[in-house]
Structure 1
Amino acid sequence: MNLLQWVRSIIFIVQATVMLPVIGLLWAPWAMVSKRGAYAGCHAYAGWVIWTAGWMINLRCEVRGTPPDMAALVPAKHQSFLDILMIYHALPSAKFVMKNQLRWSPILGQYATKMQMVFVDRGKRGAAITKMLADVEAGQREPGQLVIYPQGTRSPPGTKMPYKVGTAVLYEQLQQPCYPVATNAGVFWPRRGLYRRPGVAVVDFLEPIAPGLSRDAFVAELEKRIETASDALLKETGVAHLYEKN
């Protein structure tokens, strides 16, 4: 880690934090009257962060594979706030399954509510799944790409966490193509800390899993695809040794 990159990282974080309410307020008049306006505002912010990361901290963001443009289930590896922005920016009509506390966040909560994101209470597993299914069914009148994090939370690069049942339940109910997403974003933009590593952050939309698998078979296939591809992306960074377990 060098001093100049530290300085660049801090400046980048400050401007990205400031631009969230700025862009949110600029798009607010449109967002208040139209869901399209809310989507446009969020795409503008995601694009801004991705663009400024490229020249401010030498972090290029790359999307691989083919993001779906039709109704689809998108279970994704979650390592960083950056992979949220990259996935959102790559999809035309993304709806995220997100924790209920975010509903009350300034600006973000209002935009998420307008776009009919699916809020769940992670502390009440059975009730959360029931409510999630009801909310998803209610929102199916406007098809989009439903993004869910099957592990339920951020996991640092190289770590293994269990895949939860909620994604499999949605897979059974929706009967839509499922596009797994792998990433290495956590290498460059960690969950904690201010340092942003230069390089190429990737989100990779993998080959879809067709509807029809049993619940257990689906979870096994989903985990195999996402973890294998994410491990491969970690090796591409050249710093995989930093995440090896002793």
Structure 2
Amino acid sequence: MPPMSRPAWLQYPASVLFVVQMYVAMAVLGLLFLPIAIARREAAVAACRAYALYVRWTAAWMVGLTSEIRGPIPQGEVLVAAKHQSFFDILVIFSVLPQPKFVMKKELLMAPFIGWYAKRLGCVAVDRGKRGKAVAQMLADIAEGRSAPGQLVIYPQGTRVAPGAELPYKTGTAAIYRETGWACVPAATNVGVFWPKRGLLRRPGVAVVEFLPEIPPGVRMSEMMARIETVIETSSNALMAEAGFPLPAPAGHQAL
């Protein structure tokens, strides 16, 4: 479905209205599902998926931001290493994975609704201030079964990265890959072109999350990290260029 057309001056107030109702809906659905979500993890997954689908739907008709998935959707026990540009890519990914859970910063456990449901989903909390100890604790949580079965989503750069910005990939992804023996599915996105890291303006367009060919178990950690960075960055840049985002010229390139 092509993005809806509206006068440019209406985009910002429409974005503000969209953001407000999005958080109101989070509170309403969070409270409505909470009693059954406490009793059953499946209900917590269903509640979060309903919210993710609702936001995708309202984004399409309120601000003209449609969203689509490309590539085979990961199944079973697998590590998903995803590009992270905004809150929206989390929702798009959650809306399609069968049993999603996330590696997330520990501070989010204290957030209303997000923290409550994250614990029930089996998300893995990381204290980013402890660095090496944080990775060790993360691996211990996974090994001891505190993380429920499903697809474990990790953001290799550790945080949201705006389109065009650069941030190194962290080795925690390779550590999980090695210790679990799972395959790794890289995922690219262009979401940040339309839904920025900060600010209220949501731009019309087609936000894409693309699941890329999986990396099988057993690849050396250094090679695995090089491969995911190459395919994620290359594919994300291609998606952003498709969306009309002006990518910087490669190093050493001079315009004629």
TM range (shorter): over 0.9
Deviation per residue, 1:86-115 (Å, 9 max, x gap) = 011110101100000011111211111111
What residue is the counterpart of 1:101 in the other structure?
A: 107
Deviation per residue, 1:38-63 (Å, 9 max, x gap) = 11111111011001011111110101
Letter in 2 for 1:26: L
Deviation per residue, 1:171-192 (Å, 9 max, x gap) = 1011111100000000100011
Secondary structure at 1:200 match in 2: strand
What residue is the counterpart of 2:248 in the other structure?
A: 244
Secondary structure at 1:227 match in 2: helix
Deviation per residue, 1:111-165 (Å, 9 max, x gap) = 1111111000001011100110011112378421000000001111122211101
Residues 56-135 of structure 1 aligned to structure 2 (within 5 Å): 56-135=62-141
Q: Is the 8 A contact 1:120 1:128 kept in 2?
A: yes
Structure 1 residues 99 and 214, CA, compared in 2 at 3 Å: closer, same or farther?
same
Number of aligned pairs?
244
CA RMSD of aligned residues (A): 1.5
Q: Is the 8 A contact 1:183 1:203 kept in 2?
A: yes
Secondary structure at 2:161 match in 1: coil
What residue is the counterpart of 2:182 in the other structure?
A: 176
Letter in 2 for 1:100: K
What residue is the counterpart of 1:148 in the other structure?
A: 154
1 or 2, which has the higher helix percentage?
1
Q: Is the 8 A contact 1:69 1:92 kept in 2?
A: yes
What residue is the counterpart of 1:53 in the other structure?
A: 59
> Which of 22, 25, 29 is the equivalent residue of 2:28?
22
Q: Is the 8 A contact 1:158 1:234 kept in 2?
A: no
**TM-aligned CA deviation for residue 68 of structure 1:** 1.0
Task: Find out whether 1:12 has 2:12 as its counterpart.
Answer: no
2:146 and 2:209 mapped to 1: Cα distance?
A: 26
Task: Extract unaligned runs of 5+ from structure 1.
Answer: none
2:147 and 2:68 mapped to 1: Cα distance?
A: 31
1:139 and 1:190 mapped to 2: Cα distance?
A: 35
What residue is the counterpart of 2:254 in the other structure?
A: none
Task: Find out whether 1:210 has 2:216 as its counterpart.
Answer: yes
2:31 and 2:119 mapped to 1: Cα distance?
A: 16
Task: Extract unaligned runs of 5+ from structure 2.
Answer: 1-6, 252-256
1:106 and 1:188 mapped to 2: Cα distance?
A: 26
Residues 226-237 of structure 1 aligned to structure 2 (within 5 Å): 226-237=232-243
Q: Is the 8 A contact 1:116 1:139 kept in 2?
A: no
What residue is the counterpart of 2:3 in the other structure?
A: none
1:63 and 1:233 mapped to 2: Cα distance?
A: 12
Deviation per residue, 1:12-33 (Å, 9 max, x gap) = 1110011111010111111011
Identity %: 51
**TM-aligned CA deviation for residue 67 of structure 1:** 1.3
Q: Is the 8 A contact 2:124 2:147 kept in 1?
A: no
What residue is the counterpart of 2:142 in the other structure?
A: 136
